[in-house]
A = this chain, B = another copy of it.
Amino acid sequence: MTRQPVLRFTDALVRLAHLVQQVFAEVSKEHDLTPQQAQLLCLLVDGPVGMTDLTRSLHLEKSSLTGLVDRAARRGLVARTRDARDRRACRIELSGDGRRVAVLAHEEVARRLEALAAELPEEHKELLVSAVGGMVSARGPQGGGSGT
C-alpha cells in the first residue's frame, strides 16, 4: 500500500482532459461553432479529405459524419467536391470562411492552453510532450493533423 499523491496519475489525466475539452468548447462557442464542427475544420486545414478518412480520424460512423458535414456545409464552412478518380467518393474542403475560422480557433486554443501552462518550466513542457507522444503511439496512430 503505497501512499498516493494528492491526485492519482490517472485522475490527473482525466482532469487535464476535461480542462482541455472545456477550453476547446469555449473557444468554439466564441467562434459560433460547435466543438465537433471546430474539430472537423481543424482536420481540413492541410487540404481536402475524403469522408472515409474523416470517419477514421473522428471515430464516427459514416452516417454521423454525413450529418456533420451537411451542417458545416449549410453554414458555408465547408464544401463537397466530387473526386474525379472515384465517382462515388467526395472530398471535403474548407471554404475561405472555414479556413479563417479554423485558424483563428486553433490559435486561440493554443494561446489559452499556453496561458494556463505559463507557470510550467520549459523542460517540463517538453517532457510532457514526449510523454504524450509515447502514450498516443502506445495506442496506434489515431489520425492526422494537430487534432485541435
A107 and chain B: residue at smallest CB distance: B10
Residue A32 lies at the interface, judged by CB distance under 8 Å to chain B: no
Q: A112-140: which have CB < 8 Å to B?
A: 113-120, 124-129, 131-136, 138-139
Q: What residues on B are CB-neighbors of A110 within 8 Å?
A: 8, 10-11
Complex interface bits, A1-15 against B, C-beta within 8 A gives 1, otherwise 0: 000011111111111
Q: Is the CB of A22 within 8 A of B132?
A: no
Number of interface residues of A (CB under 8 A): 48
CB within 8 Å for A146 and B20 given contacts A7-B133, A8-B110, A129-B9 = no
Q: Is the CB of B14 within 8 A of A135?
A: no
Cβ of A67 to closest chain B Cβ, rounded Å: 18
CB within 8 Å for A132 and B7 given contacts A14-B147, A16-B13, A16-B16 = yes
Copies of the chain in the assembly: 2
A134 and chain B: residue at smallest CB distance: B119
CB within 8 Å for A116 and B138 given contacts A127-B124, A147-B15 = yes
Q: Is the CB of A138 within 8 A of B119?
A: yes
Q: Is the CB of B147 within 8 A of A117?
A: no
Ordered by A's residue number, 14 sampled pairs between the chains whose C-beta atoms are within 8 Å are A9-B129, A11-B146, A13-B113, A14-B147, A14-B148, A15-B132, A15-B136, A15-B146, A16-B136, A19-B136, A19-B139, A116-B135, A117-B134, A120-B134
